[in-house]
């Protein structure tokens, strides 16, 4: 029988990106060798690394490669070297372009507190132990993309900065459906966040999410919550949540906050999914929640688990390999159970590993 070929595009990017993606590469090679899978890996430049060579954060060629891949796994973009560039030419624009052009409108960020790492959280163990939240963030609309935008001179030597927050009902419907569909596979509960007390777009968000629930998801529990209250509740009693649904801006902030409940940015993966194309293929981009961490880049101390867990999400959502996804997740759990840690999650009595040693330890548990 011929093996099914799955194309994975790796875009390591900047800072610790290449270090953590190197561990993913080792794992994909392990799967090819030991599970008779046929992953075809390609690697290319993105972000500052692409600017240095090609003068742009992502070339058309790399962009088309991403269209042809079954999954794209990205490390991180950006760093101080490129901070003085004009906004539209910065490394992070590559990410915005990929998200926008691949129409990746749904960002899934799990915030799971591994019981082995409960002490790494700044919150009390009883508040976070066993935490399992999924944040569903709208990714292609709202204030990060709305027009008009810009900085303009006004009278009296002043300047004015403008961004526009805008959503249509169909944009809200499609992201709400993603949240409700996921809820059915989890604890059947969605909390939708907005600022309907001060924003018309927030009122629209609340009404349209409710409409989707009333029409097609009668059995899913839906609560509406103001986004600032949600930020507070995440610290007070995070286990009350199952799925948090939010727009681009609030989802950005709430997911970073939820990330820290779990102790380290180095542990959190994310998936960005688009609509199905006519062949039933869902466009997707997988990346760790963290950035390029310039402060620790090049030292072989970054935690590769977030990127490895991003591969695990890709195996589940894009590559049709749920068993391999579970296998990889258990391998990570087993390594943590045995007390192995990278520097960011190190505590007394545990054994500290470098980035590459952590990758090797996880591979040894796959065997």
What string marks each residue from 90 to 109 as x (binds ligand NAD by CB under 6 A) or -?
--x--x--------------
What string marks each residue from 173 to 192 as x (binds ligand NAD by CB under 6 A) or -?
--------------------
Interface of this chain with ligand NAD, residues 328 to 347, rule: CB under 6 A = 344
In the bound state, the residue with its beta carbon closest to ligand NAD is 291
> 242 an active-site residue?
no
> 252 an active-site residue?
yes
Give, in order, the Cα–Cα distances in Å from 363 to each of 30, 36, 123, 330: 8, 16, 31, 11
Count CB-CB contacts under 10 A for residue 11: 30
Q: Which residues pair with 244 in a beta bridge?
A: 135, 191
> 286 an active-site residue?
no
Residue of 12, 266, 269, 274 that binds ligand NAD (CB under 6 A): 266
Does residue 306 belong to the site contacting ligand NAD (CB under 6 A)?
yes
Min separation Cβ 322 and ligand NAD, Å:
25
When the beta carbons of 102 and 190 are compared against ligand NAD, the nearer one is 102
Question: Which span sits near ligand NAD by CB under 6 A: 58-66, 188-196, 231-239, 298-306?
Answer: 298-306
> 228 an active-site residue?
yes
> 295 an active-site residue?
no
Does residue 79 belong to the site contacting ligand NAD (CB under 6 A)?
yes
# residues contacting ligand NAD (CB under 6 A): 21
Does residue 263 belong to the site contacting ligand NAD (CB under 6 A)?
no
When the beta carbons of 79 and 142 are compared against ligand NAD, the nearer one is 79
- Which residues of this chain interact with ligand NAD, rule CB under 6 A? 16, 76-79, 92, 95, 265-266, 287, 290-296, 302-303, 306, 344
The catalytic site residues sit at: 144, 195, 228, 252, 256
């Amino acid at each position: 029988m011929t093996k099914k070929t799955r194309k994975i595009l790796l875009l390591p990017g900047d800072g610790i990106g290449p270090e953590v993606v190197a561990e993913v590469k080792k794992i994909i090679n392990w799967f090819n060798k030991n599970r008779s899978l046929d992953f075809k890996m390609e690697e290319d430049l993105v972000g500052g690394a692409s600017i240095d060579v090609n003068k742009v954060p992502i070339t058309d060629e790399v962009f088309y490669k991403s269209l042809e891949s079954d999954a794209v796994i990205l490390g991180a973009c950006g760093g101080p070297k490129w901070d003085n560039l004009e906004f539209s030419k910065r490394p992070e624009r590559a990410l915005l372009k990929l998200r926008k052009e691949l129409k990746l409108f749904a960002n899934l960020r799990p915030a799971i507190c591994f019981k082995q790492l409960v002490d790494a959280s700044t919150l009390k163990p009883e508040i976070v132990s066993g935490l399992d939240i999924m944040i569903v963030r709208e990714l292609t609309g709202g204030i990060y993309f709305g027009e008009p935008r810009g900085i303009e001179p006004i009278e009296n030597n002043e300047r004015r900065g403008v961004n526009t927050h805008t959503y249509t009902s169909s944009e809200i419907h499609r992201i709400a459906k993603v949240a409700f569909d996921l809820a059915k596979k989890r604890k059947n509960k969605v909390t939708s966040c907005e600022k309907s007390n001060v924003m018309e777009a927030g009122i629209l968000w609340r009404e349209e999410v409710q409409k989707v629930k009333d029409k097609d998801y009668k059995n899913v529990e839906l609560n509406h919550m103001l986004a600032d209250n949600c930020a507070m509740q995440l610290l007070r009693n995070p286990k009350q949540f199952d799925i948090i649904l939010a727009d681009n801006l609030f989802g950005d902030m709430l997911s970073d906050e939820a990330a820290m409940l779990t102790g380290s940015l180095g542990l959190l993966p994310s998936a960005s999914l688009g609509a199905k194309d006519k062949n039933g293929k869902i466009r997707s981009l997988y990346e760790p929640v963290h950035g390029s961490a310039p402060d620790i880049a090049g030292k072989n101390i970054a935690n590769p688990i977030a990127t490895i867990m991003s591969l695990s999400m890709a195996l589940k959502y894009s590559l049709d390999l749920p068993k391999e996804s579970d296998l990889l997740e258990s391998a990570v759990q087993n390594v943590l159970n045995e007390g192995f840690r990278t520097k960011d999650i190190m505590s007394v009595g545990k054994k500290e590993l470098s980035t590459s040693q952590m990758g090797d330890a996880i591979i040894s548990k796959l065997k």
